[in-house]
Amino acid sequence: MKKKYLLTPGPTPLPPEVCAAQAQPIIHHRTPQFQAILKEVSQGLKYVFQTENDVFILASSGTGAMEAAVANLLSAADTALTVEGGKFGQRWTEICQSYNINTEVLSVEWGRAVEPKKIEERLKANPKIKAVFTTLCETSTGVVNDIEAIGKIVKDTPAVLVVDAISGLGAIDLKTDAWFCDVVVSGSQKGLMLPPGLGFISLSPKAWKLVESSRSPRYYFDLRKAKKAQDKTDTPFTPAINLIIALNESLKMIKEDGLANVFLRHKKMADATREAVKAIGLELFAPTAPSDVVTAIKVPKDIDGEKLVKTMRDTYGVTIAGGQAELKGKIFRIAHMGYIEEFDIILCISCLEKVLFQMGYKFQLGIGVRAAEEVFLR
Ligand SMILES: *Cc1c(COP(=O)(O)O)cnc(C)c1O
């Protein structure tokens, strides 16, 4: 027997209430019973997205919602600006290129946040840019971008601002309307504490104008169909019924805590994690703009980063994430997103210490756990 713990940036652990909601016998979706749930969920999503806009639910992972954004906003030969500071920023570029969008890339050093001024310069230099694709929390590097500042820039241009908030929504602040985010996409298996399988997308009136004029091919992800159905509290196709029922539960939990408290809890978990790893003598990968969603840590010299992650998982049952793409083996990532509390962090740090110690890394055993405890005692 081995007890298992999940501290990865998606999927994230499920609260028992969510597991139970999901496991109920299925109901039919074209019923007043399911309509009532859809209504509640739709209100709950608006609360979490901090928007008055409709939020649409897609039966896909988060990337499906990203593709829906591109396909519905732009047509072949339109121009877009993508901000690339990691693997998920790159995904915007790849999707745009798949739709033959003329894609300008703003490259940002991995581990840094984008300077909003750079976006302003690019928009000024090329007034043809119709959409700016950004990432709230770049999960591959642990960086949080200043979406509020970017929103202030993009709102005064003809372009729409698209934000990948797949990791971040329900964990850190994102004021969709107040920050002028025209399109926000997210997914179920991160801050929303659900299994994977749902994508979410919200669109402002400015974005809807593009949806109406886009000539890109789309069928399942045609948001005009989603809107027509949603206006009648319905869905265009069979929705992921049990996931939506579970979503209703997790949204209620978030509402009960209140967004402000949810953000505060994430900040505390992140502070404790950062202080703990620093006390152990490790370095943050993104010291200038670390997110409260996931902490990326440099693998110390002479330590095998992939083995560290593997040993924590296979020997001790504690799953964290390694680095992706060019960061493979160079960093490891501890997520503190969603259903994660104080003692999950303590346990994870304790396991990290144990494995580092066994691998011969020199530090004072217990010093990371102590640093985390001190944060929690503040
Ligand atoms: C997880 C993640 C994605 C990918 O979402 P999938 O659900 O795996 O398709 C995209 N962007 C960010 C920022 C993410 O964290």
Long-range own/partner contacts, residues 33-41 (CB < 8 A, 24 or more apart): 34/241, 35/233, 35/234, 37/244, 37/245, 37/248, 38/233, 38/234, 38/235, 38/244, 39/233, 40/248, 40/251, 41/244, 41/247, 41/248, 41/251
Looking at ligand 1, which atom is closest to the CA of residue 135?
A: 13
Looking at the chain, which runs of residues are DSSP E strands? 5-6, 55-58, 79-84, 102-107, 129-135, 137-138, 143-144, 160-164, 183-187, 199-203, 294-298, 318-319, 321-322, 331-335
Q: Return the closest-CA partner of residue 294 out of 281, 304, 285.
A: 285
Q: Which pairs count as long-range contacts for 112-115, CB under 8 Å and 24+ apart, including other chains?
A: 112/85, 112/143, 112/286, 112/288, 112/289, 113/85, 113/143, 113/144, 113/145, 113/146, 113/288, 113/289, 114/83, 114/85, 114/145, 114/146, 114/150
* Ligand 1, atom nearest to 61 Cα: 7
Identify the DSSP state of 365. Answer: T
Contact 183, 204 (CB under 8 A): yes
Closest ligand 1 atom to Cα of 88: 11
Q: What residues have CB less than 8 Å from 14, skipping those under 6 apart?
A: 193, 194, 195, 339
10-38: average pLDDT:
97
pLDDT value of position 371: 98
pLDDT at 142: 98
Enumerate residues 6+ apart whose C-beta is below 8 A from 65. Answer: 58, 166, 185, 186, 187, 199, 200, 201
pLDDT for 129 equals 98
**Residue 170 CA to ligand 1 centre (angstroms):** 14
Residue 91 has pLDDT above 90, yes or no: yes
Is the model's pLDDT at 1 over the cut of 90?
A: no
Q: Tell me, what's the pLDDT at 2?
A: 85
Give the integer Cα–Cα distance in Å for 306 and 294.
18
So what's the architecture of 16-256 in CATH? 3-Layer(aba) Sandwich (3.40)
The arithmetic mean of pLDDT across residues 253-261, rounded, is 98
CATH of domain 5-10+258-376: 3.90.1150.10
Tell whether the model's pLDDT for residue 160 goes beyond 90.
yes
Q: Kindly state the average pLDDT of the residues 26-45.
A: 98
Query: How far is ligand 1, taken at its centre, from the CA of residue 31, in Å?
Result: 32
Residue 337 CA neighbour count, 13 Å, CB half: 34
Confidence of residue 349 (pLDDT cuts 50, 70, 90): very high
Asked if the peptide bond before residue 300 counts as cis, ω within 30 degrees of 0, the response is: no
The confidence band for 307, taking pLDDT boundaries of 50, 70 and 90, is very high
Q: Rounded distance, CA 142 to CA 214, Å? A: 33
Instruction: Say if residue 125's pLDDT is above 90.
Output: yes
Q: Which protein residues touch ligand 1 with a CB less than 6 Å away?
A: 9-10, 61-63, 88, 135, 137, 139, 164, 166-167, 187, 196
The predicted pLDDT at position 280 comes to 98
Kindly tell me if the per-residue pLDDT of 254 is higher than 90: yes
Which of 57, 91, 166, 190 for mutating ligand 1's site (highest number of atoms within 8 Å of CB)? 166
What's the gap in Å between 293 CA and the centre of ligand 1?
13
The answer to whether the beta carbons of residues 294 and 136 sit under 8 Å apart is no
Phi and psi of 270, rounded to 5°?
Answer: -70, -45
Q: Which pLDDT belongs to residue 369?
A: 98
Out of 63, 114, 133, 143, mutate this one to test ligand 1's pocket (max ligand atoms within 8 Å of CB): namely 63
Name the residue with the closest Cα to ligand 1, atom 15. Answer: 167
Average pLDDT over residues 198-202: 98
Q: Residue 328's pLDDT is what?
A: 95
Residue owning tokens 């045609």: 222
For the chain, which residues make up each domain, given as ranges? 5-10+258-376, 16-256
